[in-house]
Structure 1
Amino acid sequence: MIRTEDRGDVRVVTLDRPERRNALTLSALADLERAVVGTDSPVVYLTGADGAFSAGADFDAVGEAAADGPEAIEAFVERGQRTMRAIETAESVVVAGVDGPARGGGVELALACDIRVATPRATFAETGVSIGLFGAWGGTVRLPEVVGTGDALDLSLSGRTVDAGTALRMGLVQRVTEDPRSVAEEVAANDPDSLRVLKELVRADDDREDGEAREREAFVELLAARAGDFSGQ
């Protein structure tokens, strides 16, 4: 489900599961991490296939974790958090190209990237609240950092969908263009050592562990309490 293609100084990583809107399973999360960190390319361009970025966590995988109990739920959340953290701390600059919907964990995946670029067709929503959950792959940590507390609470508590223009105004994305990959190529045209050092310096004060641990604990409690809601889905 994870395709990679190296094009000069840019590695293109594509989530390729269009029949599920590029939803992420446990194995896909591990493959995604390897695809992003296992390259010498100074820039990684991360996108989704066939008009969607990502629907986030695969619902079947969530249901399986819920059925297996709190330890499995925690392992599922930790796997997602670990992948997002690996993307955020990768030596390569990671540019997200969002075309079509990004939902739940798909928004969190975009948040883990260094630069987020949307097409005019992109939409974003943190939909977990509608089923009694929330984004637990670092979303409660990164979203307020990126858009501010007010907009983070608005998006998370309402579950509303915002378009590319609104996402740009709130700072969720940095640019809106028909060709997001051109931004990755623009970045890759610069000195690779400078790119690496700049990313390291800007990210230097990020401390995720405490926030992610609290997030993980809360998600386990919520999902364990409603595991029956996911049976037979």
Structure 2
Amino acid sequence: MDLGTFETLLVEQAGDALVVTVNRPSAMNALAGQVIADLEALTVAVETQVGSDGRWPVKGIVVTGAGEKAFVAGADIVEMQTMSPDQGEAYSRRMQGVTRRLEALPVPVIAAVNGFALGGGCELAMACDWIYASRNARFGQPEVNLGLVPGFGGSVRLAQRVGIALARELILTGRMIDADEALRVGLVNRVFDDPVALLQGALDTVAELATKSPVAVASCKALMGEVLPLPVVEGLDREAQAFRRAFETEDKAEGVRAFVAKEKPTFPGR
């Protein structure tokens, strides 16, 4: 799977998983403009190669950060220091575009958070389908400490994850929470003792995903994103339409056949 080369990302395939590592450890993996450009190029490349014509070279993506200190410590404050208001808005909108592309990818994206995930780092993690964390992970939206507001989706996605009251508390105080509290409030799904176990846990989950129908997984992901903001009745209507479309797929035919025959399915990905 040829996705190109990237200045600030390490990209490697591990079984059915694509592991994407933000690789600026000297800057705690901060989201400089080049990192955002690389993430943008990567998501575009994945969009064109995964899920088209039954091609599923990967079944899941794991996003993590180089080193043990930080997943992504946040936006690049040094770069932001000289930005004009127009440049600041463009910076926000470009990274927001990356997060929306991650959400729209046809395969699940898992954030494997080691160390600090603050500001833009927390926002990048929340754009993934779910978050796994190592014991040393720390989460927060500390923009108020810099006279700023969240710019990469934190004001929207944090409330979706933890509820509006806690999201307001965390954003307005800029308080950090540790991995155990993040697990308790529903920001992360699982906590692992160390970064090695964290990455292995994410890879194990992708291996589990690889046994499922890739078409059904992609459809479930798209459907859940689509119905999230809708009233119940409209959401149920969209669900019924998606259910109908599933009946048109070869994966549905194979899955039902194998179940009746008491066999393991071999999904064609169409």
TM-score of the pair, normalised by structure 2: 0.72
Match of 1:217 in 2: none
Are positions 1:144 and 2:159 aligned together? Answer: yes
For residues 2 and 11 of structure 1, do their structure 2 counterparts lie closer, same or farther at Cα, with a shift above 3 Å needed?
same
After TM superposition, give the deviation of residue 106 of structure 1 in Å.
0.3
Are positions 1:205 and 2:227 aligned together? Answer: yes
In the alignment of these two chains, the number of paired residues is 204
Are positions 1:129 and 2:151 aligned together? Answer: no
For residues 196 and 106 of structure 1, do their structure 2 counterparts lie closer, same or farther at Cα, with a shift above 3 Å needed?
same
User: What is the one-letter code of the residue matched to 2:71?
Assistant: F
User: What is the one-letter code of the residue matched to 1:45?
Assistant: V
| Cα shift readout 1:184-225 (whole Å, capped 9, x = no counterpart) | 333334221121111011111356xxxxxxxxxxxxxxxxxx
Conserved 8 A contact 2:61-2:110? yes
* Other structure's SS at 1:136 match: coil
Are positions 1:82 and 2:97 aligned together? Answer: yes
| Cα shift readout 1:29-61 (whole Å, capped 9, x = no counterpart) | 121132234232221100001011001211122
For residues 14 and 153 of structure 1, do their structure 2 counterparts lie closer, same or farther at Cα, with a shift above 3 Å needed?
same
Q: Which moved more, 1:28-37 or 1:1-10?
A: 28-37
User: What is the one-letter code of the residue matched to 1:49?
Assistant: A
Conserved 8 A contact 2:140-2:175? yes
Which blocks of at least 5 consecutive residues in structure 2 are unaligned?
1-7, 51-57, 230-270
User: What is the one-letter code of the residue matched to 2:61?
Assistant: V
User: What is the one-letter code of the residue matched to 2:72?
Assistant: S
Match of 1:20 in 2: 27
RMSD over aligned CA atoms reads 1.5
Match of 1:59 in 2: 77
* Other structure's SS at 1:165 match: helix
Match of 2:125 in 1: 110
**Alignment partners' CA distance in 2, 1:201 and 1:137:** 23
**Alignment partners' CA distance in 1, 2:169 and 2:206:** 30
Matched-pair identity in % = 39
Conserved 8 A contact 1:45-1:97? yes
Conserved 8 A contact 1:2-1:28? yes
Are positions 1:6 and 2:13 aligned together? Answer: yes
Are positions 1:186 and 2:215 aligned together? Answer: no
Conserved 8 A contact 2:111-2:125? yes
Which blocks of at least 5 consecutive residues in structure 1 are unaligned?
208-233
Match of 2:66 in 1: 49
| Cα shift readout 1:124-168 (whole Å, capped 9, x = no counterpart) | 111111111121111101110110011101111111111111001
Conserved 8 A contact 1:36-1:44? no
When Rg is computed on C-alpha atoms for both structures, the one with the higher figure is 2
Conserved 8 A contact 1:42-1:195? no
**Alignment partners' CA distance in 2, 1:110 and 1:85:** 12
User: What is the one-letter code of the residue matched to 1:192?
Assistant: P
Greater relative contact order: 1 or 2 (C-alpha under 8 angstroms, separation 6 or more)? 1
